[in-house]
Amino acid sequence: MSIRWKAALMILIVGLLPFLAIGTLVYLDFQSSLRSSAFSNLEAVTNLQEARVVDMLRFYSQSTQYLADEPTIHQGAQYLLANPTAKDGLAQAFSQAQTNGQANQLVPFLQGAAIAKSDGTILVATPLLNDKKTLPVAAGQLLTDVFRDQHGTHLLFSAPMVYDGKTLARLYLTVDANLLDKITQTRDGLGDTGETFLVKQLDDKTGVFVTPLRFDSKAAFTQTIPLSETSRPSAQAVLKKSQTYTSGAFSYRGQPVIAVTRYIREAGLGIVGQIDQSEVFGPVQQLAQQVVVFAALLILFTLLVSSFIGDLFVRPILRLATAARKLSRGDFSARAKISSSDEIGQLGRVFNNMAEDLEKQDQAKSDVLALISHQLRTPVTAVKGFVSLVLQDKKGKLTADETKMLQLAFEENEKLNLLITQILDVAHADSGKMTLEKFPTDLVELTQSVVKDHQAAFALRRQTIDFHAPQTPYMVAADPAKLGFVVGNLLTNASKYSPEGSKVTVTMGRDDNKCWVTVTDSGLGISNADRRKLFQKFSRIENPKRETAEGMGLGLYMAKKIVDLHNGDLSVTSRENH
């Protein structure tokens, strides 16, 4: 990351941290306030509806008891107990009771009635209850039962009928359950997703909705509630739990909700009030979105401003870096433009002084190398010619020892000539003056030619080169002479560090973007330490199979420089003793 962007990032962090901290605190406080407000409102609505349900049930329960104590019905029940087959007794009794204005006012929504024994066994019933044999006994409860049949949903109330201090019979009345529906469907203050509903238990594993749901009007007595789903407030209400849920609760639609559950013991019903969290926290979500948009704009503005400010400081450093890169490539004429007198300006002046000194030293080195090239090559070439003439002219006249010494002098002179050439080449590479003469070159043909040139040298050590040239040309833009030097150097090293009688394998390959030559030997491998210095100047790896190491350690260094100039890669893969 550049200094410019580091500075921008620092300014951004310093500027945004207080904003984000305050925004987070406001967000959490707002969210807590909304949760508290929603819970309080939901609790108030649920408690109010619970009170209304209890009041309504109490009214009808008292009405049922009033009718049970009404003399006409009381006598009719007594008559039925004595004469179980007198089926018209109930109708006659109710007919007489309804002439009483007070009774008619108490049960305006009466749907059916029955008189049963104290255990709930029906003695006589109106058509609505005529298909039942027994009815539940819920002593001490306002509501005996709530059930659904083909005629709709009904509330069942019962009251004991006491004779001489003993409950010998019970009066049952049914009322339309729409009265409950009207209470729970009053959703004032519950928003768009809030609702209340009643539930009851069916058996040990399931419950059922008693009233319609806001998002399912046909749920009453059709949609069951698995009691194992304890994250559902409806299940908790069935399980007689009176709790509040501000998190971790889900509605029958699977939506996260804030919920209140109450168990109405007098009725054996649970009441649930709930509202979707998405609606409750809608305002805070909108606030969060606005904060994010504002933060994004602030970030953009901060980055632009800090980038502009950072550029004022970074621009002279970039100029200095550009000059340094030119200097590293051997362009000692590179200078940094200085336009300030601050610390960066002082650094630039020091850099320019250093570059000027390096330019002078490079010129001096070039002069020395030119002198070496001229002064050393001339006598070395002369010595080579003189020794060659002596060996040819005096052939047969020299003793074996003299011939051997002259031959040795000739070979050492050749090594000295090669060393001078390598030193000059390295100097050109280091100074960045090595150039390539590129033109379209068939890498297959070039490699094949180099392999052929090395066959004789390999044969002296009884080594072979396994190379199967590809059938199609590999055309590259390259300097064939210098690239040939690279392949030749790899082959020479492979032979040098492989045992006599071994095989060196040369393979080639290519894809859409590159082609490659791989030289594989059968030597002793290269350690990690040696592999790191393999392409350094004057670095040699000793061959344990030979008494002395050959070369000056410049070949692979030059090969790497040449491959780099071709925008390629020269690498080694090896492990010790392999």
Angle at 57 between CA 54 and CA 62, to 5 degrees: 120
Coil/strand/helix, residue 291: helix
Which of 23-27, 60-64, 280-284 is most confident? Answer: 60-64
Residue pair 533/539 in contact (Cβ under 8 Å)? The answer is yes
Q: What is the mean pLDDT of residues 147-171?
A: 88
Residue with the bigger pLDDT between 50 and 150: it is 50
Q: What is the mean pLDDT of residues 400-425?
A: 74
Would strands 195-201 and 224-226 be described as parallel, antiparallel, or unpaired? unpaired
pLDDT at 22: 79
Least confident of 27-36, 155-164, 428-437: 428-437
Using CA atoms, how far apart are residues 174 and 236, in angstroms rounded to an integer?
28
* Helices and strands, counts by H and E, the chain: 14, 16
Per-residue confidence at 99, pLDDT binned at 50, 70, 90? very low
Neighbours of 167 (CB within 10 A): 14
Residue-wise pLDDT for 177-224, tens only, equals 888 888 988 888 888 999 999 999 988 899 999 999 999 988 999 999
pLDDT at 290: 78
With a pLDDT cut of 90, the percent of the chain lying above it is 23
Average model confidence (pLDDT) across the chain: 81
Residue pair 264/240 in contact (Cβ under 8 Å)? The answer is no
DSSP-derived letter for residue 411 is H
pLDDT at 69 over 60: yes
Least confident of 23-37, 142-156, 263-277, 355-369: 355-369
Continuous H helices in 98-144: 101-106
Neighbours of 452 (CB within 10 A): 11
Would strands 243-250 and 224-226 be described as parallel, antiparallel, or unpaired? unpaired
Residue-wise pLDDT for 5-26, tens only, equals 666 677 667 767 776 777 778 7
Q: What is the mean pLDDT of residues 68-80?
A: 80
**Residue 401 burial by Cβ neighbours in a 10 Å radius (0-12, 13-18, 19+):** exposed
pLDDT at 490: 93
Residue pair 526/556 in contact (Cβ under 8 Å)? The answer is no
pLDDT at 64: 87
Report phi then psi at 502, rounded to 5: -90, 180
Residue pair 315/321 in contact (Cβ under 8 Å)? The answer is no
DSSP-derived letter for residue 163 is E
Residue the block writes with tokens 């180099």:
450
Q: What is the mean pLDDT of residues 222-246?
A: 89
pLDDT at 373: 62
pLDDT at 548 over 50: no
pLDDT at 51 over 90: yes
Per-residue confidence at 132, pLDDT binned at 50, 70, 90? confident
pLDDT at 86 over 70: no
Q: What is the CA radius of gyration of the chain?
A: 52
pLDDT at 197: 94
Residue pair 64/171 in contact (Cβ under 8 Å)? The answer is yes
Q: What is the mean pLDDT of residues 306-332?
A: 74
CA atoms within 13 A on the CB side of 490: 25
Q: Crossing angle for the helix pair 480-496 and 443-460, nearest 10 degrees? A: 30
Neighbours of 13 (CB within 10 A): 11
pLDDT at 20: 74
For the chain, helix, strand, coil in percent to 5 are 50, 20, 30
pLDDT at 101: 45
Pull the structure tokens for residue 440. Answer: 């379209």
pLDDT at 95: 52
Using CA atoms, how far apart are residues 438 and 476, in angstroms rounded to an integer?
9
Using CA atoms, how far apart are residues 68 and 81, in angstroms rounded to an integer?
14
Per-residue confidence at 527, pLDDT binned at 50, 70, 90? confident
Coil/strand/helix, residue 522: coil
Report phi then psi at 177, rounded to 5: -75, 0
Q: Which of 572, 559, 571, 569 is nearest to 429 (CA)?
A: 559
Residue-wise pLDDT for 432-462, tens only, equals 667 788 999 999 999 999 999 888 889 888 9
pLDDT at 513: 83
pLDDT at 53 over 50: yes
Coil/strand/helix, residue 107: coil
Using CA atoms, how far apart are residues 284 and 290, in angstroms rounded to an integer?
10
Neighbours of 218 (CB within 10 A): 10
pLDDT at 547: 41
Using CA atoms, how far apart are residues 253 and 362, in angstroms rounded to an integer?
82
Q: Strands, E, within 21-75: which ranges? A: none
pLDDT at 195: 92
Sign of the alpha-carbon torsion through 108, 110, 115, 117: negative
pLDDT at 103 over 70: no
DSSP-derived letter for residue 216 is B
What residues have CB less than 8 Å from 370, skipping those under 6 apart?
none
Coil/strand/helix, residue 55: helix
Q: How many residues does the chain have?
A: 578
Least confident of 89-103, 232-246, 261-275, 459-473: 89-103
Q: What is the mean pLDDT of residues 14-42?
A: 80
Buried (b) or exposed (e) across 317-349, using 16+ Cβ within 10 A? bebbeebeebbeebebebbbebeeeeebeeebe
DSSP-derived letter for residue 127 is G
Using CA atoms, how far apart are residues 29 and 464, in angstroms rounded to an integer?
83
Using CA atoms, how far apart are residues 4 and 9, in angstroms rounded to an integer?
9
Torsion angle of the four alpha carbons 461, 462, 466, 467, in this order, in degrees rounded to the nearest 10: 60
Pull the structure tokens for residue 282. Answer: 């809608």
pLDDT at 430: 64
pLDDT at 473: 92
Residue pair 235/251 in contact (Cβ under 8 Å)? The answer is no
Per-residue confidence at 270, pLDDT binned at 50, 70, 90? very high
Per-residue confidence at 476, pLDDT binned at 50, 70, 90? very high
Pull the structure tokens for residue 14. Answer: 């310093």
Residue pair 519/510 in contact (Cβ under 8 Å)? The answer is no
DSSP-derived letter for residue 203 is S
pLDDT at 97 over 60: no
Continuous H helices in 394-527: 400-430, 443-460, 480-496
Q: Crossing angle for the helix pair 71-82 and 3-69, nearest 10 degrees? A: 80
Using CA atoms, how far apart are residues 143 and 181, in angstroms rounded to an integer?
15
